């Protein structure tokens, strides 16, 4: 029987070593801490079955567990209420089956995104997303954080690309949903439920995705102007029949740019470029810089201390968000940048002193909520996080989310306190 919630029984770590192998269990170091919360041990199971057994053992011992892939987004979410064991998927890193004729792939959760893309490219295919830090980020990590990128404008988010999953639950069960072929997908859609749950419901060990062909050619254009004029152009592009694969607004002190990308054949791209120039009118276009489509990643780089937020608003409100960020940053003497994707989500970065960052965070959240939007603090000094929910005020869905958590993880074994409303 599992220990009571929040209560540890006497821990016998050699039992866990027998499950994962002695060489794959080690004492945690300071580098394994999560937002200042110290960890006791780190385990790296080599199979999905061993991971499930390790999770069952930890649950029975009353331990609190944090799943980890590449570790690129461990700072996202609230600090955990406790973490005794980090359960790593580093050894679950294989591409199990690439059914290129059916355009699907089965991949283990610890596989790095860049490694998967390299394998798929051998058959001219891709997983049509460009998340943050693909060289280090793992499939399980991007699913847990629902991290997509600029390609979402054309192909949708991870919830649109995943068609099946295998998840280890706290009681040691391996739950499967979905299927290997898109048309045969059936059953309760656990894949979409677990995507974006920040590892609070279970640990993903495998995923099945639908794939898309690699484009023959690609071309990007950039327009310069005021955030207001570029916001109007963005809306005009969205209202047109153009089939863009990327659309984003970038802004910082004294500059703003709108980037649009087209994939396809040379003739098809040229026809769309001609059409967008007609839509743009007096706004002149130039070829997008090579780093334009990694700007959602580059915005994370800069001076410390800093506040990284993710906001969600209507695309028509992008210019208003830029004006708001500029005003709030100016009042606190902070530097700022914004990168907003055409789907209505974006990042805002502010740099400066900690008191100013905290004041800016509270002000931005209040103002965006009034606009009907949301603001999540993805990265900031731990001192700002303490006593503050980085997710913002709970929504009407909070009671349902609590019930889902109680159904899948009633004893709060996985990532306790890290998700919305302290789930």
Q: Could you read off the pLDDT of 67-99 as tens digits, one per residue? A: 999 999 999 999 999 999 999 999 999 999 999
Sign of CA dihedral 140, 143, 147, 152: positive
pTM tops 0.75: yes
Angle at 238 between CA 237 and CA 241, to 5 degrees: 80
Percent of the chain with pLDDT over 90: 90
CA distance 358 to 390: 11
- Judge whether residue 356 has pLDDT over 80: yes
CA distance 39 to 32: 6
Length of the chain, in residues:
423
332 contacts 356 by C-beta, under 8 angstroms = yes
- Judge whether residue 6 has pLDDT over 50: no
Question: 348 CB contacts (<8 Å, ≥6 apart)?
Answer: 308, 309, 311, 321, 325, 336, 337, 338, 364
pLDDT at 5: 40
Secondary element (H or E) of residue 323: helix 318-331
390 contacts 310 by C-beta, under 8 angstroms = no
Paired tokens of 38:
């110290």
When pLDDT is averaged across residues 266-292 and rounded to a whole number, the result is 95
Residue 300 to residues 133, 143, 244, 337, 381, Cα–Cα distance (Å):
11, 20, 25, 10, 14
Task: Report phi then psi at 391, rounded to 5.
Answer: -80, -15
pLDDT at 4: 38
Q: What is the pLDDT of residues 390-407, one digit of tens each?
A: 999 888 899 999 999 999
CA distance 346 to 394: 20
Paired tokens of 40:
């006791």
Residue 345 to residues 296, 321, 418, Cα–Cα distance (Å):
11, 11, 22
- What is the CB neighbour count within 10 angstroms for residue 253? 10
pLDDT at 133: 98
Residue whose pair of structure tokens reads 């656990």 in the numeric block = 190
Q: Which of 160, 164, 166, 163 is nearest to 203 (CA)?
A: 166
Domains along the sequence of the chain with CATH: 13-90 (3.30.43.10), 95-213 (3.30.465.10), 217-292 (3.30.70.260), 299-385 (3.30.70.1710)
Alpha helices in 341-397 (DSSP H): 354-370, 382-385
- What is the CB neighbour count within 10 angstroms for residue 399? 11
Weakest-pLDDT range from 68-72, 228-232, 282-286: 282-286
pLDDT at 2: 40
Mean pLDDT of the chain: 94
Sheet architecture: strand order including 85-88: 25-27, 41-43, 85-88, 65-68
């Amino acid at each position: 029987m599992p220990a009571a919630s929040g209560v540890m029984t006497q821990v016998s770590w050699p039992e866990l070593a027998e499950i994962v192998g002695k060489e794959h269990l080690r004492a945690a170091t300071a580098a394994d801490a999560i937002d200042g919360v110290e960890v006791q041990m780190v385990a790296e199971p080599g199979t999905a079955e061993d991971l499930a057994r390790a999770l069952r053992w930890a649950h029975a011992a009353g331990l609190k567990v944090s799943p980890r892939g590449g570790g690129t987004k461990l700072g996202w979410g609230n600090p955990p209420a406790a973490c005794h064991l980090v359960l790593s998927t580093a050894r679950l890193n294989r591409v199990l089956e690439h059914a290129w004729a059916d355009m699907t792939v089965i991949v283990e959760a610890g596989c790095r995104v860049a490694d998967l893309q390299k394998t798929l490219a051998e058959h001219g295919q891709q997983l049509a997303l460009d998340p943050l830090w693909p060289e280090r980020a793992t499939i399980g990590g991007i699913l847990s954080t629902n991290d997509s990128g600029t390609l979402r404008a054309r192909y949708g988010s991870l919830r649109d690309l995943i068609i099946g999953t295998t998840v280890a639950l706290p009681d040691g069960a391996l739950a499967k949903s979905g299927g290997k072929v898109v048309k045969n997908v059936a059953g309760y859609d656990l894949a979409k439920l677990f995507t974006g749950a920040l590892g609070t419901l279970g640990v993903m060990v495998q995923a099945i995705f639908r794939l898309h062909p690699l484009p023959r050619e690609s071309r990007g254009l950039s327009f310069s102007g005021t955030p207001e004029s570029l916001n109007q152009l963005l809306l005009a592009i969205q209202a047109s029949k153009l089939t863009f694969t990327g659309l984003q607004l970038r802004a910082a002190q004294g500059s703003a740019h709108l980037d649009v990308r087209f994939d396809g054949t040379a003739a098809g791209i040229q026809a769309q470029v001609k059409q967008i120039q007609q839509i743009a009118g007096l706004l002149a276009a130039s070829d997008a810089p090579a780093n334009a489509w990694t700007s959602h990643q580059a915005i994370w780089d800069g001076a410390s201390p800093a506040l990284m937020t993710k906001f969600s608003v209507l695309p028509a409100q992008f210019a208003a968000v830029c004006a708001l960020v500029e005003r709030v940053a100016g009042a606190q003497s902070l530097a700022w940048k914004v990168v907003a994707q055409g789907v209505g989500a974006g990042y805002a970065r502010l740099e400066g002193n900690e008191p100013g960052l905290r004041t800016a965070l509270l002000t931005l959240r209040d103002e965006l909520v009034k606009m009907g939007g949301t603001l999540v603090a993805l990265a900031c000094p731990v001192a700002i996080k303490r006593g503050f929910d980085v997710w913002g005020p709970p929504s009407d869905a909070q009671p349902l989310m609590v019930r889902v958590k109680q159904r899948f993880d009633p004893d709060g074994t996985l990532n306790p306190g890290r998700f919305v409303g302290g789930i």
